[in-house]
């Protein structure tokens, strides 16, 4: 009896329970049998438990070095530290599919636990859809991609993990991104349930928005972590290369961002229902496409270590998902009429439409660029490359407009905005922007495009901060200290101010992107011991190479001194590591030192003996802002998502007893005080 037997049995049982859940939920809902629906809900919880058990079995197999499991033998070795051994759980295809299925079952269980908040008629269908997706993964896991497949003779030691993955980023980036992909399943399940029952109520909208917000936040973190991993591991001085796999991860993020904004229009005005449903379906389909694309190997990418032959199953699943949801969608189309009307284009709705157009436009251009080599190959048998210049030229103008809309949008009121009020809100940010545009060229930012980009970001940041400041001032004038006023603003209007924070983080991130795109300095030099190289005010002195041999790896590191303004700043050790089983894939140990907002990025390109090295240096201005902006976006996302205070529930109850007033959101909390 091995741990793997436990895992195999759990997977098969989970598939059985998931199938049962689908049938019980659908039959229970159609025949109005609450007992059957309750049984289906418990079925979801059993699936989650079984998946936890299976995942535990795989991690235990790794930690006990059970090399009789070919998955364990291929992705770990005796000499790996325990945390990489455990993380190798999702280091290969079978394990990452298991991780996907595990997270889906956990999210399904969370949905069941919070099901009271969702509209009751929808719950069985949501559960059934989630389990339908789960069944697909379980079928893959028990047949073509089984992590618990055993070999007759166990090797003495395993292959070890791909060197690119032997990095702290590996511990966080893949699980976050896979979880992000997975989490678009829940909004999709809500959409399917609403289409089946025809109940697109405001409760439904609230539930689906919160789940989408959670998915969006997770995907944001996954993307930023992915960029961080690339920056620290790949050694080309950048963090985003418009690689097909990066693009695929960006696509559902873009469509769900569009969804989060256009649902506000639906929430307030009852419009755009059809469009919103289409966005939810597209986000899920794109996340399946992303999972498929990494596996398929149809497009050349830096993630080539994930190739396998199961792409065709994902393609089939993707086609089924698209046909099924499009069918439902067309079936429901006649019922989805807008409820309200439009007043004025210079209102917030107008900007939301613009925002949606831009986001979907960016998503489409990215998808088109990713697929174009395939289209070209299919039509005229000529492969071609769609590289970063294409994306930069098509997407940067759209991004600039989007950032501008991010600044203006929140200043506009719903329905109609008087130009006088708009002007009052805009004058300060516009003046700051113009000052910024005038000052930057004097500060030697001579690139026109960079100046425009910085000015647009300055506008948005100024508009948001000014709005925040005005809110604080109003509260302050009613006797609150500024700090308390700031806290109260975020506390009372979570979605609004959380959203501002996300916008602010995005503006910071874009400033970092512009800085590193336009002002990156790169220099290569072949250095002998004692020689210097000078880059943009930094001086590097080469002291020699250090060779370090260990049981499973050999690493070379160059020792360099960094000098700035005649001051010794410290010693850095850029290097390469060769793992025994992956000799042709040396991992890079990149040295990144941050001076203020500028990264000194040093990469050991080549070396000869102990006394000569080819050093490649990048000066990357403003890159730390990318990570900082990402953190601010995460914080904003969490604030938006965070549940309203628990007092709200009591407030609602006490109100319901007194009057028929129903004002659930911010005002509900006051019920206790009044």
Partner 1 sequence: MKQRRSLFLVLAVVVVAAAVWSVVYLSTPRQQTLDQRVQAVASQLKCPICQGESVADSPSLLAQQMRGVIRQQLQEGKSEQEIIQYFVRSYGEQIVWSPPWQGFSLLAWLVPIGLLLAGVVLIYFTLRDWRALSRSVEARGNDRDILNIDEAELEGYRAQLERELAEGDVLFRRYQTEAQ
- Rounded CA gap, 446 and 489, in Å? 40
Please give the residues from 414 up to 433 whose contact with partner 1 meets the rule CB under 8 A: 418, 420-421, 423-424, 427, 430-431
- φ, ψ of residue 523 to 5 degrees: the values are -150, 135
- Rounded CA gap, 45 and 106, in Å? 8
Q: Does the CA dihedral 494-500-506-511 come out positive or negative?
A: negative
**By CB under 8 A, is residue 597 in contact with partner 1?**
no
**By CB under 8 A, is residue 376 in contact with partner 1?**
yes
**By CB under 8 A, is residue 478 in contact with partner 1?**
yes
**By CB under 8 A, is residue 491 in contact with partner 1?**
no
Give Cβ neighbours of residue 168 (< 8 Å, ≥ 6 apart).
none
**By CB under 8 A, is residue 333 in contact with partner 1?**
no
Complex with partner 1: residue 70 or 366, whichever CB lies closer: 366
Q: How is 556-567 classified by DSSP, letter by letter?
A: EEEEEEEEETTE
**By CB under 8 A, is residue 302 in contact with partner 1?**
yes
**By CB under 8 A, is residue 374 in contact with partner 1?**
no
Confirm if 620 and 538 have CB atoms less than 8 A apart.
no
**By CB under 8 A, is residue 307 in contact with partner 1?**
no
- Rounded CA gap, 45 and 43, in Å? 5
Complex with partner 1: residue 143 or 427, whichever CB lies closer: 427
Complex with partner 1: residue 36 or 250, whichever CB lies closer: 250
**By CB under 8 A, is residue 518 in contact with partner 1?**
no
**By CB under 8 A, is residue 61 in contact with partner 1?**
no
Complex with partner 1: residue 209 or 475, whichever CB lies closer: 475
**By CB under 8 A, is residue 482 in contact with partner 1?**
no
Q: Which stretch binds partner 1 (CB under 8 A): 56-64, 112-120, 190-198, 339-347?
A: 339-347
Complex with partner 1: residue 188 or 603, whichever CB lies closer: 603
Smallest separation, CB 488 to partner 1 (Å) = 10
Complex with partner 1: residue 384 or 653, whichever CB lies closer: 384
Smallest separation, CB 347 to partner 1 (Å) = 11
Smallest separation, CB 552 to partner 1 (Å) = 25
**By CB under 8 A, is residue 647 in contact with partner 1?**
no
Helix ranges (H only) for 553-665 are 623-641, 647-658
Bridge partners (DSSP) listed for residue 293 = none
> Both ends of the chain: CA-CA distance in Å?
65
**By CB under 8 A, is residue 536 in contact with partner 1?**
no
**By CB under 8 A, is residue 667 in contact with partner 1?**
yes
**By CB under 8 A, is residue 533 in contact with partner 1?**
no
How far, in whole angstroms, is CA 87 from its chain's centroid?
20
Angle at 624 between CA 619 and CA 628, to 5 degrees: 170
Complex with partner 1: residue 241 or 311, whichever CB lies closer: 241
**By CB under 8 A, is residue 393 in contact with partner 1?**
yes
- φ, ψ of residue 599 to 5 degrees: the values are -95, 130
What six digits make up the tokens of 148? 């618990």
Please give the residues from 598 up to 637 whose contact with partner 1 meets the rule CB under 8 A: 605-606, 614, 616
Number of neighbouring beta carbons within 10 Å of residue 605:
16
Please give the residues from 246 up to 285 whose contact with partner 1 meets the rule CB under 8 A: 271
**By CB under 8 A, is residue 300 in contact with partner 1?**
yes
**By CB under 8 A, is residue 342 in contact with partner 1?**
yes
- Rounded CA gap, 182 and 287, in Å? 7
**By CB under 8 A, is residue 575 in contact with partner 1?**
no
Give Cβ neighbours of residue 481 (< 8 Å, ≥ 6 apart).
none
Q: Does the CA dihedral 366-219-327-358 come out positive or negative?
A: negative
Give the residue from 302, 292, 286 showing the smallest Cα distance to 362: 286
Smallest separation, CB 625 to partner 1 (Å) = 22
Give Cβ neighbours of residue 578 (< 8 Å, ≥ 6 apart).
553, 554, 555, 586
Smallest separation, CB 454 to partner 1 (Å) = 12
Complex with partner 1: residue 179 or 472, whichever CB lies closer: 472
Please give the residues from 438 up to 477 whose contact with partner 1 meets the rule CB under 8 A: 438, 441-442, 446, 448, 451, 470-471, 474-475, 477
The footprint of partner 1 on this chain (CB under 8 A) covers a number of residues equal to 78
Q: Which stretch binds partner 1 (CB under 8 A): 27-35, 50-58, 370-378, 581-589?
A: 370-378
Give Cβ neighbours of residue 672 (< 8 Å, ≥ 6 apart).
647, 650, 651, 654
Q: Which stretch binds partner 1 (CB under 8 A): 211-219, 367-375, 511-519, 573-581?
A: 367-375
**By CB under 8 A, is residue 413 in contact with partner 1?**
yes
**By CB under 8 A, is residue 353 in contact with partner 1?**
yes
Q: Which stretch binds partner 1 (CB under 8 A): 3-11, 110-118, 377-385, 587-595?
A: 377-385
Complex with partner 1: residue 75 or 475, whichever CB lies closer: 475
Smallest separation, CB 284 to partner 1 (Å) = 22
- Rounded CA gap, 251 and 244, in Å? 11
Strand, helix or coil for residue 309: coil
Place of tokens 């048998």: 381
Number of neighbouring beta carbons within 10 Å of residue 661:
10
What six digits make up the tokens of 313? 């199953």
In this chain, which of 31, 152, 382, 567 binds partner 1, going by CB under 8 A? 382
Confirm if 632 and 508 have CB atoms less than 8 A apart.
yes
What six digits make up the tokens of 297? 């190997």
Q: Compute the chain's Rg from CA coordinates.
A: 27
**By CB under 8 A, is residue 532 in contact with partner 1?**
no
**By CB under 8 A, is residue 437 in contact with partner 1?**
yes
Confirm if 158 and 84 have CB atoms less than 8 A apart.
no
**By CB under 8 A, is residue 241 in contact with partner 1?**
yes
Complex with partner 1: residue 107 or 289, whichever CB lies closer: 289
Q: Which stretch binds partner 1 (CB under 8 A): 145-153, 391-399, 542-550, 578-586?
A: 391-399
**By CB under 8 A, is residue 343 in contact with partner 1?**
yes
- Rounded CA gap, 331 and 205, in Å? 20
Give the residue from 250, 462, 477, 281 showing the smallest Cα distance to 369: 250
CA atoms within 13 A on the CB side of 601: 26
**By CB under 8 A, is residue 394 in contact with partner 1?**
yes
Q: Which stretch binds partner 1 (CB under 8 A): 48-56, 64-72, 412-420, 535-543?
A: 412-420
In this chain, which of 91, 95, 187, 237 binds partner 1, going by CB under 8 A? 237
Q: How is 409-433 classified by DSSP, letter by letter?
A: GGGSPSS---HHHHHHHHHHHHHHH
Q: Which stretch binds partner 1 (CB under 8 A): 103-111, 120-128, 307-315, 341-349?
A: 341-349
């Amino acid at each position: 009896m091995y741990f793997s037997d436990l895992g195999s049995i759990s997977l098969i049982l989970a598939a059985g329970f998931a199938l049962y859940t689908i049938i019980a939920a659908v039959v229970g809902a159609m025949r109005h049998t609450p007992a059957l629906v309750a049984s289906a809900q418990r079925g979801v919880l059993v699936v989650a438990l079984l998946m936890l058990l299976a995942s535990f079995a795989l991690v235990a197999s790794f930690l006990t070095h059970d090399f009789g499991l070919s998955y364990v033998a291929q992705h770990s070795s005796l000499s790996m530290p325990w945390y990489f051994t455990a993380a190798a759980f999702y280091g290969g295809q079978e394990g990452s599919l298991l991780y996907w299925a595990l997270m889906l079952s956990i999210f399904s269980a969370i949905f069941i636990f919070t099901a009271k908040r969702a509209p009751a008629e929808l719950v069985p269908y949501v559960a059934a859809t989630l389990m339908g997706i789960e069944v697909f993964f379980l079928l893959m896991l028990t047949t073509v991609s089984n992590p618990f497949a055993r070999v007759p003779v166990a090797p003495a030691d395993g292959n070890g993990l791909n060197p690119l993955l032997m990095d702290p980023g590996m511990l966080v980036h893949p699980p976050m991104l896979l979880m992000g992909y997975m989490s678009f399943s829940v909004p999709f399940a809500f959409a399917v349930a609403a289409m089946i029952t025809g109940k697109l109520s405001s409760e439904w909208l609230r539930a689906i928005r919160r789940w989408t917000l959670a998915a969006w936040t997770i995907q944001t973190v996954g993307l930023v972590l992915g960029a961080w991993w690339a920056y620290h591991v790949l050694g080309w001085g950048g963090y985003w290369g418009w690689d097909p796999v990066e693009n695929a991860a960006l696509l559902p993020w873009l469509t769900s961002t569009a969804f989060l904004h256009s649902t506000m229009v639906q929430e307030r005005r009852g419009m755009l229902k059809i469009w919103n449903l289409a966005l939810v379906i597209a986000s899920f389909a794109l996340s399946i496409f992303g999972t498929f694309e990494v596996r398929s190997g149809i497009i050349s990418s830096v993630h080539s270590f994930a190739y396998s032959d199961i792409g065709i199953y994902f393609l089939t699943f993707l086609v089924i998902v698209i046909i099924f949801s499009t069918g439902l969608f067309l079936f429901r189309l006649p019922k989805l009429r807008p409820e309200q009307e439009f007043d004025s284009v210079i209102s917030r709705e107008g900007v939301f439409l613009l925002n949606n157009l831009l986001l979907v436009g960016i998503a489409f251009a990215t998808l088109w660029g990713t697929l174009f080599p395939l289209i070209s190959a299919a039509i005229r048998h000529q492969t071609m490359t769609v590289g970063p210049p294409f994306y930069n030229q098509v997407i940067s103008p759209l991004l600039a407009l989007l950032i501008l809309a991010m600044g203006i949008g929140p200043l506009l009121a719903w329905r109609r905005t008087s130009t006088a009020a708009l002007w009052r809100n805009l004058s300060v940010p516009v003046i700051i922007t113009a000052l910024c545009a005038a000052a930057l060229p004097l500060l030697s930012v001579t690139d026109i495009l960079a100046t425009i980009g910085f000015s647009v970001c300055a506008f948005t940041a100024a508009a948001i901060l000014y709005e925040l400041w005005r809110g604080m001032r109003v509260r302050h004038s009613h006797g609150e200290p500024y700090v308390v006023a700031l806290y109260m603003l975020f506390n009372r209007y979570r979605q609004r101010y959380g959203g501002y924070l996300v916008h602010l983080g995005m503006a910071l991130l874009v400033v970092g992107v512009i800085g590193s795109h336009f002002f990156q300095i790169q220099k290569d030099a072949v250095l002998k011991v004692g020689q210097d190289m000078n880059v943009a005010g930094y001086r590097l002195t080469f002291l020699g190479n250090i060779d370090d041999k260990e049981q499973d790896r050999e690493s070379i590191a160059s020792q360099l001194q960094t000098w700035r303004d005649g001051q010794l700043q410290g010693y850095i050790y850029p290097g390469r590591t060769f793992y025994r089983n992956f000799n042709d894939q040396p991992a890079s140990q990149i040295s990144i030192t941050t001076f203020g907002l500028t990264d000194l990025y040093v990469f050991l390109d080549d070396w000869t003996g102990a006394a000569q090295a080819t050093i490649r240096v990048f000066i990357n201005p403003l890159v730390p802002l990318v990570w900082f902006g990402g953190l601010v976006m995460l914080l904003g996302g969490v604030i938006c998502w965070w549940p309203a205070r628990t007092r709200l529930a009591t407030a609602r109850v006490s109100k319901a007893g007194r009057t028929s007033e129903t004002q659930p959101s911010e005002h509900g909390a006051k019920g206790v005080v009044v």
